[in-house]
Structure 1
Amino acid sequence: MKNKLRRMLKTTENEPTASPSTNEAQKTTAEQTAWLDRGADILTFEDEWIVRLDHRYALEEKHGHRSYAEVFESLQLPHPPLALDVPLNQVIFFDTETTGLKGTGTTIFLLGFARFEKGQLLMRQYFLPHPHYEAALYHHFLHDIGEDVRFITYNGKSFDWPQIKTRHVFVRERVPRLPKVGHLDLLHVCRRMFKGLYDSFRLTAMEERIGFERTDDLPGFLAPMHYFQYVEHQNPAIMEGVLEHHLHDCLTLVSLYDECNRLVTHRQEAPSRVRENIGIWLADLGIHEQSAEHFGQADELTAEGWLRQGRLYKKLQQHEKANTCFEKSNTYEGFIELAKWAEHIAKQPSVAYDYTERAKRLLENRQLLASRRERLFAELNHRSLRLQRKCRE
């Protein structure tokens, strides 16, 4: 049995590792064997070990109504907001499970990623069987992902990766390397694209868009409790629900990326509000031509949409189109823009004065901070007085 276990224990090639001592191996043999029986790998580092589980999916397989082949295609489209500047095998869909939400005492006990390699989608999970084996966890995870990666996450830019950097501090004497990391956080993408359409932007809410529904899913807030039970009892069955929940989180990122990419690249029909939201997002990024295309595909716009489209056309020096949008916005901001155009470009101070007065009336009905309201009225009154003087000249 010991010889069989020794053959099955895996270490990273060309990396300095040390097998557990004889006593340590005897203490953990039953626990490790239970994981091996489930198809996992046992990875060692110095006197520590962790569990790694791999799942491989053919490109024809699906998560929701998206095939992995479709995602593979999306990752190769060079559209600026969602494009990634590294080879596909350096793009990883990444998520973690932790013992808490913040603080230096919070431990990552499960991390993993999905990525495309060898014509398949690889889903890989790293499980920390004992809290004091973190050096082994980060040694193998960092070795596997490489020197230059791009994370696709959901709230990972402000949580998962910062948490890894925090925990890495405690093992950096033994695991000194952190890779060069780029980040695309789909939480912020979804908030931009689907603003006004959802009350919640939790990942499970976004799964509606990709046609995936979880069944008998373990709620994420229960994951720490299961981990603490595992540490006490060393029974892999305790972690089944947590592992499945984490796996679905990563696979959802894969399909959700394709969903967002298809909307941005016009390969999928979208409601007017989504087109408007994408147009505003691209305008903020300075991608003006694509922004105008998305605005143009929207059947109707909100007041904010007309205003932002107007400002886009103004920047492109298309003043006639811009003025039409400002009128349709029916906002005080829009009439301020029209007043500027009438005064400085059309040289029509009387028209500019009328627009300024209309802006004042619309401003009266807006709920604003008192200080901002006072400042705006002062600016408009100053403009009105200047325009009155011009009209008399």
Structure 2
Amino acid sequence: MNVKAKLQRMKGHMRLEHSGETEDKNRLQEAAEKAAGNVAADDELAELWGKLGFKPFYLEEQRSFQKRSFYTFADMKRPDLGRELQEVYERWGNLALDHPLSSRNVPLERMMFFDTETTGLSTGAGNSIFLIGYARVHDDGVEVTQHMLAEPSSEAAFLYGFLQEFHDDDYLVSYNGKAFDWPQVKSRHVFVRDQVPRLPAFGHIDLLHAARRLWKHELPSCRLSVVEREKLSIRRLHDTPGSMAPLLYYDYLHENKPDHLRGIIEHNDQDVRSLIHLYVAISQRLFQCARPASVTEQIQLGKWCEQTGWEEAAVSHYEKALEIPGSGKEAAHFQLGRIFKKQKRYQEATAQFINSISVSSTPLAEGFIELAKLHEHQEKSYERAHYFSREALRCLKASQKLTSAKRKLIKDVEKRIERLEGKLRGSSSFHNMS
């Protein structure tokens, strides 16, 4: 029941009171006057939210606010975005393997590009969500829907409005949503679960994981704003950073002025639309239908493909890395060598491992180790295997930072050298090498 309905009900009770019951009548009159003041304040707040494009949503006596905005692809300054999204969507549909970014068997209209704004950065019960935004793609553009918690006491209405539009066949696309945004939704849902729909089961693509895979070695940070600027050529003008959200929300609650949140609302709107750009950009890179990337990026793409069983694409990414000017190609040679060795293409593997230690002034110890293994087990050339093992040990011990992994590798190489020396002991070739 909303506030206006409560007022009418209260007035009805007043009419039924006996005229002689002066004290009760005065009490009810005071309550009615207070409720009338609340209605006026509520109407004023709704009007202020209306100026920002929000409309009220009621759940019994609770109220939240919702806003829908539509952008053509031209409005987003990406007129080809719809076509590009459709192209990568079709490519994922035709790829018969599981990949963290795959949208195979997911209707495009069910993909929900999702983000929240909260009163803090923790996922504890004391932290609240006050803004949920998501974008859906249509043939002619993008619709952004935002749900606002205008009053902390109306959390049930806030979550109900969101969950009634969220279905089991939806597929979330977020940026750190698996670790933060959705656990936060689950945490807040616990408090109002008897009043709102259940949380649906759904698929989830977290683009932060993808961004870190590709660019953690290139970018100073993988914050969405940095990725936008450096990889998507998106420049935000006069953006209100998300870190300001808690302070601005508290200012709003204190003064009841929705305009305090205008910048955060616009920030959230841009975030969810940027997720569409990012999903397309990373997918295009994986399918090699985007502009040439850096050597490092191509290698990271190759590793990701390799780890998901997409071996053919991995080889292609490593080979493309060798065509791009820049350093770091020893890693591409090494990864190609590993794949060829796995495929029992031993000559090609040997050539790639040799390249991996030849193109850099600081060769990878792992390249020497792989050469030692090939010469010992495939070529039965214990002398060459011994030589490459000793070179690997030299590289490892020359490392400026001996991590626990490197210390373990040193022990493994020392055992390999000891075993090879046992095979070579007594031979003239071994004495000459020593």
TM-score (normalizing by structure 2): 0.81
Distance in 1 (CA, whole Å) between partners of 2:173 and 2:111 is: 7
State the shift of 1:146 in Å. Answer: 1.2
Which residue of structure 1 aligns with residue 121 of structure 2?
A: 101
Q: Work out whether residues 116 and 122 of structure 1, in 8 Å CA contact, stay in contact via their aligned partners in 2.
A: yes
Partner deviation per Cα, 1:119-142 (whole Å, 9 max, x = no partner): 431111000001121111111211
Task: Return the match for 2:61 from 47, 51, 66.
Answer: 47
Q: How many residues align?
A: 376
Task: Return the match for 1:248 from 266, 270, 285.
Answer: 270
Which residue of structure 1 aligns with residue 376 of structure 2?
A: 343
State the shift of 1:305 in Å. Answer: 3.1
Distance in 2 (CA, whole Å) between partners of 1:145 and 1:377 is: 53
Task: Show structure 2 runs of 5+ residues with no match.
Answer: 8-34, 358-363, 428-434
Which residue of structure 2 aligns with residue 14 of structure 1?
A: none
Which residue of structure 2 aligns with residue 197 of structure 1?
A: 218
Correspondence 1:28-67 to 2 at 5 A: 28-63=42-77, 67=81
Which residue of structure 1 aligns with residue 15 of structure 2?
A: none
Pair 1:164-2:185 in alignment: yes
State the shift of 1:370 in Å. Answer: 6.1
State the shift of 1:362 in Å. Answer: 1.1
Pair 1:145-2:166 in alignment: yes
Distance in 1 (CA, whole Å) between partners of 2:236 and 2:225 is: 8
Distance 1:92 1:372, change over 3 A: closer
Pair 1:303-2:330 in alignment: yes
Correspondence 1:77-156 to 2 at 5 A: 77-78=91-92, 80-85=99-104, 86-102=106-122, 103-117=124-138, 119-156=140-177
Distance in 2 (CA, whole Å) between partners of 1:19 and 1:69 is: 45
Farther-moved stretch of structure 1 (344-353 vs 52-61): 52-61
Task: Return the match for 2:301 from 272, 278, 284.
Answer: 278
Which structure ranks higher in relative contact order (CA pairs < 8 Å, sequence separation ≥ 6)?
1
Farther-moved stretch of structure 1 (35-44 vs 225-234): 35-44
Distance 1:132 1:69, change over 3 A: farther
Pair 1:239-2:261 in alignment: yes
Which residue of structure 1 aligns with residue 200 of structure 2?
A: 179
Pair 1:76-2:90 in alignment: yes
Moved over 6 A (4+): none
Pair 1:391-2:413 in alignment: no
In structure 2, the residue corresponding to 1:93 is in which secondary structure? strand
Q: Work out whether residues 331 and 356 of structure 2, in 8 Å CA contact, stay in contact via their aligned partners in 1.
A: yes
Partner deviation per Cα, 1:354-386 (whole Å, 9 max, x = no partner): 111111111111244465444333322222222
State the shift of 1:65 in Å. Answer: 7.7
Which residue of structure 2 aligns with residue 22 of structure 1?
A: 6
TM-score (normalizing by structure 1): 0.89
Distance in 2 (CA, whole Å) between partners of 1:62 and 1:39 is: 19
Distance in 1 (CA, whole Å) between partners of 2:79 and 2:412 is: 53
Distance in 1 (CA, whole Å) between partners of 2:146 and 2:83 is: 22
Which residue of structure 1 aligns with residue 21 of structure 2?
A: none
Distance 1:146 1:370, change over 3 A: closer
Mark the structure with the bigger radius of gyration.
Answer: 2
Root-mean-square deviation (Å) = 2.2
Q: Give the fraction of aligned pairs with identical amino acids, expressed as a percent.
A: 33
Partner deviation per Cα, 1:35-62 (whole Å, 9 max, x = no partner): 2344322111122111111011224443
Q: Work out whether residues 98 and 108 of structure 1, in 8 Å CA contact, stay in contact via their aligned partners in 2.
A: yes
Which residue of structure 1 aligns with residue 412 of structure 2?
A: 379
Partner deviation per Cα, 1:238-267 (whole Å, 9 max, x = no partner): 221111111111111111111111111111
Farther-moved stretch of structure 1 (318-327 vs 276-285): 318-327
In structure 1, the residue corresponding to 2:179 is in which secondary structure? coil
Pair 1:288-2:329 in alignment: no
Q: Work out whether residues 218 and 241 of structure 1, in 8 Å CA contact, stay in contact via their aligned partners in 2.
A: yes
Distance 1:375 1:46, change over 3 A: same
Partner deviation per Cα, 1:75-125 (whole Å, 9 max, x = no partner): 332154522131112211111100001121111000110012464311110
State the shift of 1:339 in Å. Answer: 1.1
Q: Work out whether residues 77 and 83 of structure 1, in 8 Å CA contact, stay in contact via their aligned partners in 2.
A: no
Tell me the amino acid that sits aligned with residue 22 of structure 1: K
More helix by share: 2
State the shift of 1:316 in Å. Answer: 2.2
Tell me the amino acid that sits aligned with residue 175 of structure 1: V
Distance in 1 (CA, whole Å) between partners of 2:200 and 2:386 is: 58
Correspondence 1:358-369 to 2 at 5 A: 358-369=391-402
